[in-house]
Amino acid sequence: MNDFISIKQRLFPNNYELIDGTNEVFELNIALWEFENLSELELIKRSGFFKQINGIDTAHYRLCNLQRIDEIYKNSTFRTRLFFTNGKYSTGYATHNLFPYRGKFHPQMIKGLLNIIDIKENEIVLDPMAGSGTLMVEANLLNINAIGVDLSPFCQLMSRVKTHSLSININRLDNLYKKQFEIFNILNQKKIPHNYLNEINIEDYIYYEIFLLAYLDAMGFARRSKKNIDNLYPIVIERYYRTIRNFNLARNDLELNIGTSKVLLGNALNLDIPDNSVDGVITSPPYSFAIDYIDNDQPQLEYLNYDISSLKIDMIGLRGKGINEKLKLYFNDVQESIKEMARVTKKDRRIVIIIGSNTIQTRGVELQPEIIRIAKIENLTLEMEIKKPIKGLRSSMKEESILIFKNNKE
């Protein structure tokens, strides 16, 4: 009989230590892939799942520790503090926690996927449905350049703040933070919506956007909890300030080179990006009609003076009446977007689509097989599928699929 040896010990040698909490099969799968394909030095520099290699701490592990997550959440409720300290290596690091966007990627997994699809420093990766910009942040942390496209101007704002905040001047932020109440009063009078851009020095604008996003975060929080924004704003802006400040100090300590991000307002079905210009895609389209992203962000979009109904026209998953028509239009839109991804991506590079099916809403229709079928028509070959469980009692979806395709175009 064999000795009782844990699966981790069977997969990895003793001198390769995983980050605490790496237990799920999908995490071990990505970690194994990193182990088998990256050199020791590369693992230390860019792995998302290893803690130590031959006694040397990895950059991911050091960054998460240097950011002092406990300090950022010191004024939060016990539950929130616990959530972020427990998830410090998986979801709570860099600028990922700046806005609680529903349906965002698991950041540590994205780091692993960037390794799996072999995107190197200074190359370009695209998310044509970028949401809150998780891919862009992860790419930039590895000195990879990123392009993010989304139809929602609020998503554009989130992505800009999260990526710009990775490399800002802390002294300038400190000075503005001292004026937080002055800025709050301006924001409370709706004086800095997007169309005041021209009136402000463009360099200062990226700092004002941090305060604007914190204001919109506090506004959503106030509505949900029926509390007063005047009381919530100082708590939220302090958290934003500490997150960005701590990250930038850690970044300096680690001498990290940060990639650049281009955030575009646009339609995934018609990208304003040249043919064969990106080195890979990682994206997650709406999961059929599981979430109405525009309704979800309605208060923030209205504050920013956008017309809700015109924003909905091109949203994938929101068109049509009745399940059959909705699904037909959904798959047509997904096919058009896959065609665009294949067009802009270089031959033989990878396109990753992350998708889950809410079969209660779709009356039993699974999205994954149809997306694999559509992708094949567009000359994408499925190379690997990784299943990721979705936790949480309230979720009607039990798992997501990470579909990794190769772009086989002529």
For ligand SAM, the binding residues (CB under 6 A) are 101, 103-105, 129, 131-132, 134, 149-152, 155, 267-269, 284, 286, 293, 314-316
Minimum CB–partner distance for residue 362 and ligand SAM (Å)? 16
Cβ-based neighbours of 370, under 8 Å, separated by 6 or more: 331
Distances, alpha carbon 399 to alpha carbons 40, 286, 316, in Å: 32, 15, 21
Which amino acid, residue 168?
I
Please give the helix or strand (H or E) that residue 244 lies within, else none: helix 229-254
Minimum CB–partner distance for residue 102 and ligand SAM (Å)? 8
Cβ-based neighbours of 377, under 8 Å, separated by 6 or more: 335
**Which CB sits closer to ligand SAM, 44 or 129?**
129
Minimum CB–partner distance for residue 402 and ligand SAM (Å)? 12
Say what angle helices 170-178 and 202-225 make with each other, to 10 degrees: 50
**Which CB sits closer to ligand SAM, 103 or 234?**
103
Minimum CB–partner distance for residue 180 and ligand SAM (Å)? 26
Task: Report yes or no: 276 and 345 within 8 Å, Cβ to Cβ.
Answer: yes
Minimum CB–partner distance for residue 389 and ligand SAM (Å)? 17
Residue nearest to ligand SAM (CB): 131
**Which CB sits closer to ligand SAM, 51 or 388?**
388
Cβ-based neighbours of 131, under 8 Å, separated by 6 or more: 101, 103, 104, 105, 150, 155, 158, 159, 284, 293
**Which CB sits closer to ligand SAM, 49 or 293?**
293
Distance in angstroms (rounded) separating the CA atoms of residues 218 and 329: 36
**Which CB sits closer to ligand SAM, 44 or 269?**
269
Minimum CB–partner distance for residue 127 and ligand SAM (Å)? 6
**Which CB sits closer to ligand SAM, 316 or 342?**
316
